[in-house]
Structures are given as C-alpha cells and as structure tokens.
Structure 1
Amino acid sequence: MTEEIVFCKGGGCTAKLGPDLLSHVLGKIPRGEKDPDLLIGYDSRDDAAVYQITEDTAIVQTLDFFPPMLEDPYLFGQIAAANALSDIYAMGGTVKTALNILCFPEKMDLNILGKIMQGGAEKVIEAGGTLAGGHSIADADVKYGLSVMGIVNPKQIYANDKGRPSDVLIFTKKLGVGLVCNANRVGQAPKGAMEEAIASMTMLNKKAAEISHRYEIHACTDVTGFGFLGHLSEMINSSISAEIDSISIPVIKGAMHCAEEFLLTAAAQRNRNHVAERVTFSKYIPFAMEELLFDPQTSGGLLFAVQKEDAAAFEKELREAGMPAAIVGRFTEKKEKDIYVN
C-alpha cells in the first residue's frame, strides 16, 4: 500500500459520529451546576459554546478536526481550518485566535505535515485571527483541525433555534461535497465536480457572516456533517416548521449524477436514519435530491433564518459578493411534521 493511499482513506465531515449515537452518549454525561454565564452549551445542539465575560462581550469557543478527504495536504489543511472557523461565523462572532489540533504518523514525510499546517495557517490569517499554538500526537492516521476562539456581543448571538414563523431561509454555498468527494475517491467524479467542491470547501464563511450583520437574523447554523436536513432539524423549535423549495437549492456540478449512480456515503445514511421521521418529501422529489439533502458537507455554507422583509436584499448582497447564495425555503407556523420538502 502506498503512502498516498494511507494519507487519504476518506474523511472530512463524513468521519463524524452519527447523530443518533452522539445524542445517546451526550444525554448521559453529567452536567454539573448550571453556570449562568454559559449562554450556549451543547444542550441547544448549537455550533459553538458562548460564555459571557462582560455586558458587551462573550467568548465563542469551538473545535473541529477530521481525516483528509482528498490527497493534497495543503488543500486539506485549508479545508479543515475553514471548516473549524465556520462555527464562529455561524454564531455571529468574529475570529480571534486558533490552536492547531494534529495527529500525524511519525514515519510519514514531514513535508506533508508542513503543507497541512501551511494551509491551515493561511486560512486563520485570512479570517483575521492569530494562530497561537496547538497540540500534536503521533497516530496511525492523519487528522487535522483547529480549536478556535472568537468574540460576539451577547445581544447579537446567532443561536440556531430562535427562528420565527415567516422567516426566510437563505443558504450561502452549494450542496454535494460529500457525494463528489466520495466519487472522487473511486475515480468516478464527473469532470470539474471536484474542482468546484474544493473551491466551495476552501471558501471561508467570513464574508457571508459580515454581510449578515446588516440584516435582522433570527437564527443561523453552518451545514456540515449532519447534512442540510440534519442541521435544519436542529433549527426547528416548538413554534415552527420548515418548508424547503428543493428546486432552489444550489448544487455542485455533477453531485446529482453521483447520487443517481449510488456513489453514496455511510454518513448520509446515518443522517437519513436520524431525521427521516421528521421530514415529509413531496412525491415529486427524486431519490437523488433526497440524498443531496442528507449528504454530509465539509466546510459547508451558512443557513440563515432572516426576517421576511430583509430576505431579497440579503440574498442579492450575498450573490453580488460572489456567493451562490439562494433563498431555499421558509419557516411556517408549527405543522404535523418539522420539515416539508417540495
């Protein structure tokens, strides 16, 4: 077996533990006494923890790491870093510092290690943050990511479950990363699909977050390993359901073809098993579109719930800034099911 094959066995956010398993374990962890300054912890299934330190300042804290999903170590470093940084943006925060998290085989070429860390460092700099250190261990397989700290005004936090009926849902990137990366590993990615997926995964959500601060955002999440429907389900509260216009979903070129060819991931099936009972698909929705909506994303886009009056202007500004952003649905008053896909 060559070293190149060992480097990429399949990773990115497809390597996440399944949401069912994770929920089962988290439900049994001792919580301790509630800290009133912990504004957001894992109880809300949000994207990061938020801890208030003054009236106007709270710390946003997150971490994320995973194995490579492609063979290029530099691009892998960029993607892993962009993915970790995204959680700060999903909370409405600004990136301040980051720490490397690295697992690396001692016998592997150190040039590969350098390229991974170079890619990650460049994304931290692009985010306006400072790489302040990190931790590494010897391991059989490569894994890389960041622990990131940001700040946010406690009055301007983007929680993921504060959406309101009539809010419009806007998504800022294309779906299909998991399908395309999986097809690429077996040499069956459609022409140009992997290049488009890489461009999406390496793009920071910084600009989208900065633009969002000019509008009334009620809720936000970034769409990663649990797929579009998995993360959308975490936005549903007791007052709302969601209607999704599948025809409006931005899609990476060739991703639907990958689904039609059954180049699927096990993570997508775990996502389907976790959330399928909460979703009603129109009879006109093809199997490939269902798979796309369950597909695990790596460094995916932000999903905003914005007040109806701001939606058109917000979408327009995002698109003018170079993002494939689209209005993809809306929240409604509570219905029988949480999510309806039309």
Structure 2
Amino acid sequence: MHKLLFGMTLALLMACTASTLKAQDTVYPTAIFAFQERGADVKGLGSQVADLLFASLVVDPNMYLVDREDMQKILQEQELSVSGLVNPSEAVQVGQLTGAKLILTGSVIQAGDKLVLVAKIIGTETSRVAGASIKGQVDQDIDELAESLAEEIVKEINKNSENLVPKVVPQSERIAALKEKIGKAKLPVVSVSIDERHIGQATIDPAAETEMTLYLQELGFEVVDAKDGAKNSADINIVGEGFSEFTARAGNLAPVKARVEIKAIDPKTGKIIAIDRQTSVVVDINEQIAGKSALQAASATIAERMIPKLVKPADGKKGKKK
C-alpha cells in the first residue's frame, strides 16, 4: 500500500513538473519515411532525401526524430511498409509502435528539367496532413534542396502543430469518457501487476502499474493486491511489462521512449480477454521524470482502450454500444 501511495504521489509530481515546461519546449517525436520517386532521373533520390532531412533536422533542439533503424525493425516485425505510402490506419499504427506524433514523408518529382521536393507531415493521432515543398533544377545539388525543404518543414510544424497533434486531454475528462462508455455495467474484481524498468537506472516505483490502478479505481473497480496473495480472488488478472530508455538529448531536454505491453487474463480459464501495447515518447528536463511520464502515458492510453473490454453490461455482451 505504501508503495502504491508513493507511486501515485510521484505521478502527481511528474504531472506538475511537466506542466511547468514552456510551450516552446514542446517537442513532437517525428518518424521520417523514404520519399516516393516520380520521374526518369530521380531513382534513388527518395531514400537520399529522407537521409538528408534526418541529418538536417536531428541537430534542431526543437525536433526529436525516431531512430530510423529502430523504426524499420519495428515496422518490419509488424509487416508494415517503410516506404512513403502511409495511409491513415498505418499512421495510427506507426504512432502506437514507435511513439511518433508526426510522420514525415513525401515525393521527389521530376518535371522536365525541374525538380520538386514535396513533404507531407501527417499527425499519427489525427490523420491530418500539412505540407511543404521546394523547387529546383534536376542538376542542382540535392543536399541544398533537402536543407531548404527541412527549413520549410520546421516552419510548417511550428505553424500547424495544434492541428496535427491533438490537445492533451486532462485525466479527469478521459476517466469521465470511460465512465460514460462503461455505463452501469457490472465491474469485475481485478488485480494489476506490471513489471517495469528504466534501462541504465534503478526502478523506483511502478508508474505504469500505478496509472492502470488509478484508472480502474476511479472507475469503481475493486482492485486487489497481486503481490499479497489476493490475486487468486480476482476475476481478471491484468499483467504486463514496460521499459523506458533515454534516447538522445535535444538541447537541454531529455527525450525518453517507453513501451508497455499488457494482457488481461481470466484466471479460471487462462483465456486472454484483451491484449494491447503502446509506445510513448516524453521529453522533459529530467531523464527519470521523462521515463516515468512516458510509462504513465503509455499505460493510460492502453487503459482507455482495454478497460471497456473487461466489463459485461446487463445483457451479457462485452462493452457498451454507443
């Protein structure tokens, strides 16, 4: 109990610390995909432009770029394309798997002796699109064009970020929305056990477990301690693991990536009722707070998607139809 109370206290402190960051310190994790190639003399330029954009943007302290090798490995495991053909549903998946809030892709277009670089900036949570472009000559230095395009991309992100990335919804509103979705359904007794670690540092408290427990209790669920033998009295055991990892400092800020994977299991049958995973990236001035905040954010997102699947209304069907 002391551990849980300490965790909730630290979660509140993290939220307060995050709110003190200035608006201009907002950094949106961005994933860069290869550009499409359109024209006889632009073969190979699509991936080259993506590499050059990465090199130009990675040094900007107000940009945080998802590591391209890590992204390629994750997407290939999920059989998603790393090309520039990203549809809205894939954009959502890329966001969940990599923590990216924005996707940067586009086209290299040859029109006679002209060369046009067109960038699409896609919000992974909104599917909204902003654009930037630059025109040059086919024989012009591609480095120069890519650098100019990078400048235009930064301008567009600064101008359209509020449209591309949804506003942060307060926890109270998220819980209220879940209460509406669940309605008067009968709530099962649950236990929660989510192991976690911050790579390179000792784990102080279970941020992901604390966040999931907080959501459940606020919604009226009875939560029993999984570590005190009460787990056997639960109707559903929520188990999982999470890790957080410092990536690379962006100016005076510390971006940390966290991944959380959670399953809800019927202990009587062993049946998996629900399973989900989420990657989140949080940028803060303190690495440990960023790590805890990232785990907390990932767990909260999973809680929103998973909890409605755990309840049975009076008609015996899972969830509540809207």
Please report the TM-score for the alignment, with normalisation by the length of structure 2. Answer: 0.25
Instruction: Tell me which structure has the larger Cα radius of gyration.
Output: 2
Please report the TM-score for the alignment, with normalisation by the length of structure 1. Answer: 0.24
